[in-house]
Amino acid sequence: MKKWNKNFCCFRNGILILLAMIMTGCASPFSVGYGAHRQSRDEFARYVEDVFRLQNRMTSEVMMLLETDDTGTNHDDLVQAERQMHEVCGALNEYADRDGEGQSIGLFLGRDVEKSAVNCEQAALRVEALLEKQ
């Protein structure tokens, strides 16, 4: 009986150590930082807001160009780049809509925004570059 009790204690201690290792392993990515640049929460929030504003400005400029352009110039590349920007920035736009309406954001949407913010910025910069060529 003593031997069984000793083995059980070692097993239980091993399980506790394993659980502690797993829990700290799961918690470490959250403490490193936010986004691809591993920024603080406040820095990342400002970055995401700047990306959202850039994307909105690009959308507005494309709309104004298409409405006021009487030259008949082909803007297919620009329109395609804008569509791609909207696809890439979908999580960011949904986040902004929910936040503006006071709805809950949710962990998964927050992670999607974190993962896609850099790609959204790059897509908006591509649209900006195409607008400058017009």
Give 28-35 contacts, CB < 8 A, sequence gap 24+. 34/114, 35/114, 35/117, 35/118
pLDDT tens, 2-22? 554 555 445 566 565 655 556
20 and 56 part of one domain:
no
Is residue 80 located within the same domain as residue 95? yes
**Same domain as 81, residue 126:** yes
> Can you name the residues that pair with 43 across neighbouring β-strands?
none
Q: Are residues 79 and 128 in the same domain?
A: yes
User: What is the extent of the structural domain holding 88?
Assistant: 36-133
- The Cα 94–Cα 123 span in angstroms is 17
pTM over 0.75? The answer is no
Specify whether 62 is located in the same domain as 122.
yes
Angle between helices 90-100 and 107-133 (to 10 degrees): 120
Instruction: Going residue by residue through the chain, which has 134 residues, state the pLDDT in tens, using 9 for 90 and above.
Output: 555 455 544 556 656 565 555 655 554 444 577 777 788 888 888 999 999 999 999 999 999 998 887 776 778 999 999 999 999 999 999 999 998 899 988 889 889 999 999 999 999 999 999 999 87
The phi, psi pair for 39, rounded to 5°, reads: -90, 165
